[in-house]
Structure 1
Amino acid sequence: MAGYDYDLFVIGAGSGGTRAARVSAAHGARVAVAEEYRVGGTCVIRGCVPKKLLVYGAHFAEDLKDAQRFGWRVPSAPEFDWKCLQENVLAEVDRINGAYTSTLESHSVEIIPERAVVTGPNSVKLAGGREVTAERILIAVGARPAVPECKGSEHGITSNEVFHLDAIPRRVLIAGAGYIANEFAGIFHQFGAHVTLINRSDVILRSYDAQIRDRLLQISMMKGIDFRFHAEFAGIEKQADGSLKVSMTNHDPVEVDCVMFATGRVPNTEGLGLESAGIELDAKGAVPVDEDSQSSCPSIYAVGDVTNRVQLTPVAIREGQAFADTVFGGKPTRVDYDCIPAAVFSHPPIAGVGMTESEAKQKLGNVRVYTSDFRAMKNVLANRNERCLYKMICEAETDRVVGLHMIGPDAPEILQAAAIAVKARLTKADFDATVALHPSMAEELVLMR
């Protein structure tokens, strides 16, 4: 170890990289982390944190309308100041970026604000020209938004740029049907834009339970979001007035003021030099790793979105922690990828954990499905017809709850606790034996019959 400049060199200071660097240093390792942009990565700088703040801001559009039914005198046409929200969100991003930086520095992790590329099993080269060595290298460079190959694609934006728009566009077209597409469809719609969402197939949020995603589609269409299915980009043409004319298959062209691509994410491995260490990427450009996050090169590991596993911030953090504990902490640890909860912060949000009904039937055969389809108390008084749907899937023979899925206000907040019960392999009888917390939406979980 003494022959190397560092015990660990981390490339990328996102959620997984910072956790791995901090914990490894706490275990006594000499650690450096190279980051070419800002400490915090996608989640903190241009992903889930600023996006969730926009979601909160967007919710006020409906809350201000509902408030009148609860006795509040609200102006008939409340004004929304995009610049105010934008500046406050970006200021919060700056604060968290500083907190991440301080945490690394307080653990004696050296932060190198340069791009780094791998030059061998134990060496990296920095953008400034310096080459350093490390006993182990951790790749934690994350992923970036994919941009479709079509004429005029340079006129579109991605989730990276959306936080820096000068104003909310009057008409927005979003390409994709995953969580990013549906979240920003709700955000833009609540901020007053007319939103058109196009998708190559006729299914949104493919990995979620069919009934839940169909309910979101129904509600989104009732709100006024326009969906165009079986539509692929044919081209984007910029008009003389600055608008964009979007041509697509199976549908007429549409004129909008902004095109946003939300068509998946691509691992940031391009030009990273991994071939110099004999590492072959998979078909999607990800770094193949084993259960201990080790690549085909024994001294090089990878965690987070750059790998061929689950692209979620909490998973990247778990992987970084497990790597540090295993390699430098003397505590062999592996991440359990079973039963990972997930949420979409759409309007309304959806959340799920465990198997969908379709997956359970395929894997278990005989299942029992319980549902609760209701209007939240708040929506009733607000004269809002939007309905919640909670769904519980149980293995028929054992009564074990194998899946929970829901759509409705605060669904992600409710599911986090409920996911513990699914992870613990509790049964429907355990839910039934739990006294309801009344009046609440969450009580429906223990009242299903």
Structure 2
Amino acid sequence: KMLSKIQLKSTYLTNFQRAYFSRMANVSPDAKVYDCVVIGGGSGGMGAGRKAAALGKKVALIENKKLGGTCVNVGCVPKKVMLNLASYVEEAQLFRDYGVRGTENMSIDWKHFKQQRDGYVARLNGIYANNLKNSGIDFFQGTASFENANEVVTSEGAKLAAEHIVVASGSSTNVPKFPGWEHCWTSDDVFKMEELPKSVVVLGGGYIGVEMSQILCGLGVKTSLVSRGLFVGMVDSEVVCVLLENMKKLGLD
């Protein structure tokens, strides 16, 4: 009798849940029902999901790659670690003025550095995963496709339904299709390189191109920067002049 009551209660809750979400169009009977489903585990998706969970909502989050988005994986975090290394290399060159010898033949163990940098990023990925768990958010690894306005299916076959679906999937790099473009890197690829190149040409005078070119040049890579239009167009012209002067002192073409 007790088992029957439990089964009856479970059936009642399921039916109640379906009735509550009956205004959702064509939801599959085997779909997991949430208040909110978030597609994308970057800054926007993580923020939206955790805020909804903090307000007492049942939340699921879907991410195809690593948690943290651009900033954690291929942006702010690994870039600033590389910038720190370039800064240390530049400062080491000044040691000669204080009588320190041996900096002329200094070299970078790139394999060791990359391992340390990637390990730091991996720890942040783990922190993001723990944040989801501690917030009571169900995490699904994979991509998501819409079945209808209120239901998505992950690449692993999980069916998720919700009245509110947040699309925070970010964007992808748009590479111009010119002859030989398939041999070029994007800024994402810089973080994958197994060794430092001897020389590099950076196309684009925006803030990403300027940052990357200065970092690579600071690491001893012969670097040229090509800008089609205004150089760092959103920055005041007086600041740009100082920036260009410092870049020339660094040895950047």
- The TM-score bracket by the shorter chain reads 0.7 to 0.9
CA distance in 1, matches of 2:129, 2:103: 43
Q: What is the Cα-based RMSD across aligned positions, in Å?
A: 1.6
Contact persistence 1:11–1:35 (CA under 8 A): yes
Q: What does residue 115 of structure 1 align with?
A: 143
Shift of residue 164 of structure 1? 1.4
**Does residue 1:184 correspond to 2:212, yes or no?**
yes
List runs of 5+ in structure 1 lacking aligned partners: 227-449
Q: CA deviation at 1:83?
A: 1.1
Residue of structure 1 in register with 2:6 after alignment = none
Does the CA-based 8 Å contact 2:204-2:225 persist in structure 1? yes
Residue 8 of structure 1: aligned partner: 36
Compute the displacement of 1:72 (Å).
4.5
Partner of 1:213: 240
C-alpha distance in 2 between matches for 1:200 and 1:76: 36
Alignment partner of 1:19 is 2:34: no
Instruction: Give the distance between the partners of 2:170 and 2:65, measured in 1 at CA.
Output: 12
Q: 2:101, 2:134 → 1: CA distance?
A: 49
Distance 1:222 1:72, change over 3 A: closer
1:34 positional shift: 0.3
Partner of 1:138: 166
1:158 lines up with 2:186 in the alignment: yes
| 2:218/2:250 contact within 8 Å kept | no
- Cα deviation for residue 70 of structure 1 reads 4.3
Superposed displacement of residue 131, structure 1: 2.8
**How much does 1:73 deviate?**
4.8
**1:170 has 2:185 as partner:** no
1:64–1:74 Cα contact (<8 Å) kept? no
| Superposition map of 1:225-244 within 5 A | 225-226=252-253
Aligned twin of 2:97 = 69
Contact 2:93–2:103, Cα closer than 8 Å, also in 1: no
Instruction: Please identify which structure carries the higher strand content.
Output: 1
CA distance in 1, matches of 2:251, 2:151: 54
Of all paired residues, the percent bearing the same amino acid is 33
Instruction: Report the residue type matching 1:49 in the other structure.
Output: V
Matching residue's letter, 1:2 = Q
Is residue 81 from structure 1 mapped to residue 109 from structure 2 by the alignment? yes
Distance 2:243 2:35 in 1: 49
- The Cα shift of 1:183 comes to 0.6
The partner residue of 2:124 within 84, 96, 99 is: 96
Q: Secondary structure at the match of 2:104?
A: coil
Aligned partner of 2:87 in structure 1 is: 59
Please tell me whether the aligned partners of residues 96 and 103 of structure 2 are also in contact (alpha carbons under 8 angstroms): no
1:354 corresponds in structure 2 to: none
Structure 2 residue aligned with 1:105: 133
Measured after TM superposition, the shift of residue 175 of structure 1 is: 0.7
**Amino acid corresponding to residue 84 of structure 1 in structure 2:** H
Other structure's SS at 1:33 match:
strand
Tell me, in whole angstroms, the C-alpha distance in 1 between the residues paired with 2:201 and 2:149: 45
Task: List alignment gaps of at least 5 residues for structure 2.
Answer: 1-15, 22-32
Counterpart of 1:36 in structure 2 is 64
- Number of the residue aligned with 1:49: 77
- What SS class does the counterpart of residue 91 from structure 2 fall into? helix
| Structure 1 residue 196: Cα displacement | 1.2
Matches within 5 A, 1:272-283: none
Q: Does the CA contact (< 8 Å) of 1:21 and 1:31 recur in 2?
A: yes
CA contact (8 A) 1:174 1:195 kept: yes
Give the deviation of 1:197 after TM superposition.
1.2
Q: In structure 2, the residue corresponding to 1:2 is in which secondary structure?
A: helix
SS in 2 for 1:160: helix
- The question of whether the paired residues in 2 share the 8 Å contact of 1:10 and 1:34 is answered with yes
Q: Decide which of 194, 198, 204 is 2:231's aligned counterpart.
A: 204
Does structure 2 conserve the Cα–Cα contact (< 8 Å) formed by 1:67 and 1:74? no
Letter in structure 2 aligned against 1:14: G
Amino acid aligned to 1:125: V
The Cα of 1:154 is off from its aligned counterpart by: 0.7
Query: Match of 2:213, as an amino acid?
Result: A
Supply the distance in 2 between the matched residues of 1:170 and 1:68 (Cα, whole angstroms): 25
Larger RCO (CA within 8 A; separation ≥ 6): 2
Please state how far the C-alpha of 1:65 moved relative to its aligned partner: 1.4
Q: Structure 1 118/213 Cα, relative in aligned 2: closer, same or farther at 3 Å?
A: farther
* Deviation sequence 1:308-362 (CA, Å, 0-9, x none): xxxxxxxxxxxxxxxxxxxxxxxxxxxxxxxxxxxxxxxxxxxxxxxxxxxxxxx
1:176 positional shift: 0.5
- Report the CA distance between 1:106 and its aligned residue: 0.9
